[in-house]
Amino acid sequence: MVGKSKRTGVEVARAKALYARRSQLKLTSFEVTQKAIFRRIAEFLLWAREKYPYQVITFEEITQVVHGTPRLPQAGTPLVKSTKNAIPTANKLLLEEHGVSLIPLLGVGTRCEVNALDMAKHTLPASAARLSTARSRFRSLVRLLPSRAELREQALALGVGEEQFAEDLEVIEWAKNVCEKYVKAETKLALPTETLALPPAPCLKTVKKLP
């Protein structure tokens, strides 16, 4: 006789989020006033933040509320997937208009941060981890930029003419200029303002017609 398979960590977390204080939660009492789905999500999660602070709302529950389905939809259905896809846009809206970020529970659901302590414990460490990963990848890409001599060698091997080589070199030098500014500023909390006003890349100065 084959035994029952054990539930995964995500399934256990989803179950806990679904049933914790479930008898006290009345999520469907929320009234939708927005048309766009991402705005509905943002509005609903702000409401849940006030009514049930720190309570993770599952993707299925969010879907039921913002779409007005009579029953809780199954995980993994197209409607739930479309709701999950709209959450990053809702998060951006919440941050820009309300100064609040979402704190996700991977594979289960999400909630709004409640206060500064909540942000310090969850949002900032997660953002720092993403920044560290992005910086590491950025530095790896910078090291891949060829030197002038290497670019010349590549051009000769490919039979690139002098005019095309000059254009390619201009783009490479522009990219290096941008990268150097970012690398110098990576230990600071904010990038210097001049990096935000760099001239357009040489390759974008003119629009070339394709043959």
Question: Is-contact 93 102, C-beta < 8 A?
Answer: no
Q: How confident is the model at residue 89 (pLDDT cuts 50, 70, 90)?
A: very high
* CA 156 to mean position of chain CA atoms: 41
- Where do you find CATH 1.10.10 in the chain? 9-113
Q: Is the pLDDT assigned to residue 23 strictly greater than 70?
A: no
Q: How confident is the model at residue 17 (pLDDT cuts 50, 70, 90)?
A: low
Amino acid symbol at 198: L
| Terminal Cα distance for the chain, rounded | 67
Highest mean pLDDT among 10-14, 37-41, 70-74, 127-131: 37-41
| 27-41, 171-185, 193-207, range with the lowest pLDDT | 193-207
Residue 211 in tokens: 């043959």
What DSSP string runs through 193-204? GGGGGPPPPGGG
Residue of 54, 55, 75 whose CA lies nearest to 64: 75
State mean pLDDT over 66-80: 92
- d(C-alpha 143, C-alpha 151), whole Å: 14
Torsion of CA 115, 119, 121, 122, to 10 degrees: 130
Q: What's 9-113's CATH class? A: mainly alpha
